A and B are shown apart, each in its own frame.
Chain A
Amino acid sequence: MSSTSQLVHDAPAEKRAASIIGRGNKEGNRLFREWYQELTTAPERKEHSAYVFVMGSLAEIMRSFDIHTIFPEVNGLQQAVRHVADDYIATAEDYGFSADVCGYVKADVGLQLRGGDHPMGKIPPPSLSVYTNACNTYIKWAEIWERMYHIPTFTLDVPGTRAAGRLTWPGQVDFENDRNYVAGQINEVIQLCEQVTGKRFDIDKLRQAMSYTNTMSRKWKRLLELNKSSPAVYNAVTDGTVFLGMMNGYRGRPEGAKYFTDLVEEMEYKAANGIGTPFEEKYRLAFVGVPCYPIFRRFSEMFTEWGGSFVGSSYLWFASGGANLGYEYDLDHPLESLAEGLLVTVRDSMDSMFFSDKNLIDMIEPYGIDGVVYHPVKSCRTVSTGLADNRRAVMEATDVATLFMESDHMDKRVVSEAQLKNRVDAFFEGLATRKHRRASTGAPQARA
């Protein structure tokens, strides 16, 4: 069963289903608009805003100083899905940026040059920018704001995994070296926030924000696990993008903790009742890369029309800032734990981009994956550089079908819908043949 109408058998159950199913997307959209409205009106209230990024936003520290977090990647995504990104990109290219520079960066430059006018509201200028090195372009991006606004910027440098599978842990000399470095920088960020806001650091406010993040992380991990259900209870690409927006925009806030608590309740309900997405699930897919936002709906339909259901996505790992680990801070030792948590989760974000082949191989069986879709994008070399090689490794280790197709997540000049569709159609025809062959030979089937 995969549609809601097939499930409901009695009035109370029908009522409960109606109140739960779809709540996550509806609430997510509502809260998201509220969030943008908050940002729009922040200057009127003389509130500070920080430009931050999704991989290691330091939202908990920002919350403790009542600093709004603004995510240029989220702004860019919204510009693309609302089909206005090309105007902003053109503004940035007129300013001097090359066609080969990240579309997110250019959409933001265009936004800044237009005084923050954005389809979701008015983006205030930054009081500061704080970002990690999870993506090198974050650093180059912040340099642009330095030049535009002469604001303080802070690179919170989080050393990543040095080689595939070589993770270090507390007590090991290399982990402690990294942790001490991150901890030292956290103190420096706090000092910077004190200078910018004129407020004293309040550790209890930090602890409170971390507590909300703990709930969100715990629920996020559970959310990802729940898509082992067959049929999948959400589409990891389309619904997942809504969830990611909430995870980042509301990180460290009570609304975020409640949202994810409710969302998990919804998905658990769906899993328990065999309720899937609105589309019939024939093939279970993993997505690797960044979605094609300029044609987001159509991009998704290319798969759902064939019964392709995205049950997992590396995007939900790295763009959640490593929330997939479900890491929870030790609230008795907030600063120490924040350093450890940042190190472990941002490191995991990076691993999900550079070394994700192992994780993908590991998810194939438990998630019943029939195919892995690689979608490297021109704009993002962080995510995309290693994907062709990653695919080779996955294909060598498993017999799962894979699709590799390139476009962009911002720049529609690089998106050829017809070419993408051709590739997707051929992929599904191959999947259908595989399925048929396996059925006729009695070979084990994936769960779908």
Chain B
Amino acid sequence: MPRVLDAYESMSVDEAIGMCRDLVEDPDFPTVKAWRDAGGKVVGHFQVYFPEEIVHAAGMLPFKVRGAPVEARQGESHFGSYLCSILKTSLELALSGRVTLDMFVSHPICDSARNLAAVFGRNFDYPCEILYLPQNANSAHASTYLRGEYARLTREVEAIAGRSITTEQLRASLGVFNENRRLLRELYEIKRDTPWLLSVDKAYCLVAVGGMIPREEHNQLLAWAIPQIRKGSATPQDRMRLVFAGGFCEQPPLDLLHTIAQFSYVVDDDLLIGLRWITQDIPVGEDPLGDMAEAYLESSSYSPVQHDLRKPKEQMLLEQIKAANAGAAIITAAKMCEPGLDEVVAYTKALDDESIPYFVSEFEERMTNFDSLQIQLETFIENLLFA
């Protein structure tokens, strides 16, 4: 397949990040279009985690469906009032023809997302289904079940691709995605260790573009960009180190992240956590599906949409803050996001108990005015710095 990214090798790293930003904010998803124009097939998978390796191994493009800052002119009429924006804009992208899919998959991450496959299924002829990732991560039977569920998904994907997926192809895809996850971990190390070199919004652009281009290209981009970011000339400033929570599904506007970056160093976050869900290399063994299932359960991050008794979310947040040497947290939830809003209560009480300062806010992907947020955030941070 042809390369979908424009040549960036002769650009400065900031110019390349600017290119990524344009792609991330472009609701027409030109890279996905380019892939299709070249004859490729596309599997859209809704937030949060999806075993993209399976789609990749079939030679198709896994496309992370995460809404877009667009007006849901058609999508709105398919939903009621009290729902998050990402549902409506994700459907809008498909209804408006901005993206054309060959398959759509959602997950039981929340009550709304589970409905999304049914809504898509009533409106499109291509297969639309729910991938039932296990919701009992603590059962001794979860891994075996998930391996079977991945096998089922593999058969579905094979039918769309029109060819079978060999074990060797799966192993090769695991290698590509292991490399991708390693590079993303490296990117986050830069944010954590030298946050003046990489702001949260710039890092986000570099991560998010991975959900809309072939992963090999993403690997090349990151491998090219990371050394240059490390060589950056920015110097440390006296800024508060923060952890941002609440970006696991609907994404905050880039301008919101930029606003935060103006006053602080975001040293860790849960933005697009699905792309970074697996925290270690997945062993490339004899049974790739089994290895992937095991990794989903045993070598994974945390989010408000996964219940795992081993990972109480407020405890995980505290550990995250500690590991990132952060002094405060920004706790957010997308408007109408039930799991996110539930977690705000648990997070803030745990932070209170530990006397860790925090700033609470809601956001919507389509919000455009950040003046009020900027003033509040600035006040919050000044209070901390001058306390």
Which of the 9-residue segments B4-12, B118-126, B183-191 touches chain A? B118-126
Which residue from A135, A155, A161 sits with its C-beta under 8 Å from B111?
A: A135
Q: Which residues of B contact A185 (CB under 8 A)?
A: 136, 139, 141
Is A277 interfacial (CB-CB < 8 Å)? no
Give A380-395 interface residues, CB cut-off 8 Å to B. Answer: 380-382, 384-390, 392-393
Is B367 interfacial (CB-CB < 8 Å)? no
Is A355 interfacial (CB-CB < 8 Å)? yes
State the total of A-B contacts with C-beta under 8 angstroms. 174
What does DSSP make chain A's interface, helix, strand, loop or mixed? Answer: helix
Quick check: B111 and A380 within 8 Å, CB to CB? yes
On whether A163 and B130 interact (CB within 8 A), knowing A136-B111, A181-B142, the answer reads yes
Q: Which residues of A contact B346 (CB under 8 A)?
A: 143, 147
Give B323-352 interface residues, CB cut-off 8 Å to A. Answer: 333, 335-336, 338-339, 341-342, 344-346, 348-349
A-contacting residues of B (Cβ < 8 Å)?
77-83, 87, 108-112, 114-119, 121-123, 127-132, 134-136, 138-142, 144-145, 148-149, 151-152, 304-305, 307, 309, 312-313, 333, 335-336, 338-339, 341-342, 344-346, 348-349
Quick check: B121 and A163 within 8 Å, CB to CB? yes
Quick check: A98 and B341 within 8 Å, CB to CB? yes
Is A65 interfacial (CB-CB < 8 Å)? no
Is A231 interfacial (CB-CB < 8 Å)? no
Quick check: A381 and B111 within 8 Å, CB to CB? yes
On whether A159 and B121 interact (CB within 8 A), knowing A139-B135, A139-B307, A382-B114, the answer reads no
Q: Mark contacts of A152-181 with chain B using CB atoms, 8 A cut-off: 1 yes-contact digit, 0 otherwise.
A: 011111011111101000000110011011
Quick check: A388 and B307 within 8 Å, CB to CB? no
Q: Which residues of B contact A336 (CB under 8 A)?
A: none
Q: Which residues of A contact B309 (CB under 8 A)?
A: 153
Which chain B residue lies CB-closest to A184? B141
B173 shortest CB reach to chain A, Å: 22
Q: Which residues of B contact A146 (CB under 8 A)?
A: 312
B109 shortest CB reach to chain A, Å: 7
Q: Which residues of A contact B83 (CB under 8 A)?
A: 381, 385
- Assembly CA distance A34 to B79 (angstroms): 41
Quick check: B338 and A381 within 8 Å, CB to CB? yes
Quick check: A163 and B141 within 8 Å, CB to CB? no
Which chain B residue lies CB-closest to A374? B80
- Assembly CA distance A207 to B309 (angstroms): 31
Q: Which residues of B contact A406 (CB under 8 A)?
A: 80-82
Give A93-136 interface residues, CB cut-off 8 Å to B. Answer: 95-98, 100-102, 105, 133, 135-136
Q: Which residues of B contact A144 (CB under 8 A)?
A: 342
Quick check: A96 and B344 within 8 Å, CB to CB? yes
Q: Which residues of B contact A95 (CB under 8 A)?
A: 345
Which residue from B111, B130, B140, B151 sits with its C-beta under 8 Å from A137?
A: B111
Is A354 interfacial (CB-CB < 8 Å)? yes
Quick check: A181 and B79 within 8 Å, CB to CB? no
Is A281 interfacial (CB-CB < 8 Å)? no
Q: Which 9 A-B pairs have the closest CB atoms?
A: A184-B141, A177-B148, A181-B145, A385-B115, A382-B111, A157-B136, A381-B111, A386-B115, A159-B132
Quick check: A392 and B78 within 8 Å, CB to CB? yes
A176 shortest CB reach to chain B, Å: 8
A162 shortest CB reach to chain B, Å: 4
Which residue from A136, A153, A159 sits with its C-beta under 8 Å from B339?
A: A136
Is A322 interfacial (CB-CB < 8 Å)? no
Quick check: A389 and B111 within 8 Å, CB to CB? no
Is A357 interfacial (CB-CB < 8 Å)? yes
Is A378 interfacial (CB-CB < 8 Å)? yes
Q: Which residues of A contact B109 (CB under 8 A)?
A: 136
A23 shortest CB reach to chain B, Å: 37
Which residue from B78, B305, B345 sits with its C-beta under 8 Å from A389?
A: B78
- Assembly CA distance A162 to B309 (angstroms): 26
Q: Mark contacts of A296-340 with chain B using CB atoms, 8 A cut-off: 1 yes-contact digit, 0 otherwise.
A: 000000000000000000000000000000000000000000000
Is A376 interfacial (CB-CB < 8 Å)? yes
